[in-house]
Amino acid sequence: MNAAHAELSRDPAFGCGDPVWIPLPGTPLGGLTVMFLRDPDGVVVELVARPRSALAARG
């Protein structure tokens, strides 16, 4: 998420906010990192990153 933010912040055409950690107590994820931006056409886009531990194989 930090790399995406750094890259998108370089171009003023993208109205890019800072990534924010959103805690989700009581869930297996624990929380998510979220960032909003506006593309050059004005469409709002939400980027969501899960913790790497949430991607581990379950079994």
Confidence class of residue 58 from pLDDT cuts 50, 70 and 90?
low
CA distances from 28 to 31, 32, 43, 44 (A): 8, 11, 31, 28
Name the DSSP class of 18.
Answer: P
Predicted confidence (pLDDT) per residue in 5-54, tens digit: 888 888 888 888 899 999 999 988 889 999 999 888 889 999 999 887 77
